[in-house]
Amino acid sequence: MNRFSCPFTQIITGQYKRPVPEASDTQLGKKIDCIIQIEICHILSKISFKCGKPEALRLVFRLSADYICKRLFIVMAKKKSRIWKIIVFMFSTAIIIMLIVIIVQWVLQKRTSFVEYPEFGIDIPVNYSVHGIDVSKYQEVVDWQSVKNMQVQNVHISFVFVKATEGLGNEDQMFSRNWKKIREAGLIRGAYHYFLATKSGKAQAENFINSVTLLPGDLPPVLDIEQTYGVPPDKLRQRVKEWLQTVQTYYGTAPIIYTNVDFYEKYLKDDFDGYLLWAAHYLQPSQPRIYRSWSFWQHNEKGRVNGCNTIVDFDVFNGDSLEFQKLLLNR
């Protein structure tokens, strides 16, 4: 047999007028001049000649193991290529979004750094030396260095309470930035959790713990409770105790309770008198009107500070700077 080959074909010819191995395909007993077998990729062609003329043409399609492997490799390579393209696209999109967020925050901070007020815009209670504010996402991007540097007569901001979490699994969208920048500006910081009475107290405490890392010099954790959401008072107090006990066990310090005067006297009275109180009571000249002792007083919700585009809540500490320092975490 003579074999002719090229990159794409193999041609096998039988000697003229001699039997060929594929005799079964030529109908034995008949005179066959020759058989030409041509194989192109996976298509096999057999042509028989009689008296110099082609007598029959037979096409056989067959897939060799080598061809299947090559095709499988090509298909897998294409799939991997598509997967990598999708991964690269998603990664690139995430980076672009992150850069946009960073740029927007930078622009907003630069803008707020030029926000200045001649006064705080409210009456500041006299006879208090330690003043502060509290913020959440509603104050948007704040330039904390401008807040730190503002001073009207002898009054300046010393501390900031910032919203950290709410209910189950919710973290204030500005918390991470505020928490970092407040400390960098040299202000005393504290974090609070907005309590939902309809949810487990322990589960809400775990949400707060997962988001807030307290360091030496920070204020104790705060529970902000303002509404019952229809929960019976006994159930409400039970869940509040769960939150307070879970957080105190984790951080090793008793939390502070924030609420308004009326809510405290109606729902929390007596059971929580052992905790420090941050009382909200507006339009009072010198202090909140409540029967028990208090540590912080939120006296106004419409104050102004440099570096912030919106109004903010103003607070005072019930004591001097030495007593305030004793309140801070030292671990």
Could you tell me if 222 and 256 are in contact, meaning their C-beta atoms sit under 8 angstroms apart?
yes
Enter the tokens of residue 123: 């009456």
- Residues marked as catalytic: 134, 226
Amino acid (1-letter code) at residue 82: R
Of 277, 166, 281, nearest to 229 by C-alpha is: 166
Q: Distances in Å between the alpha carbon of 113 and those of 131, 267, 291, 307, 308?
A: 21, 42, 41, 5, 8
Could you tell me if 196 and 243 are in contact, meaning their C-beta atoms sit under 8 angstroms apart?
no
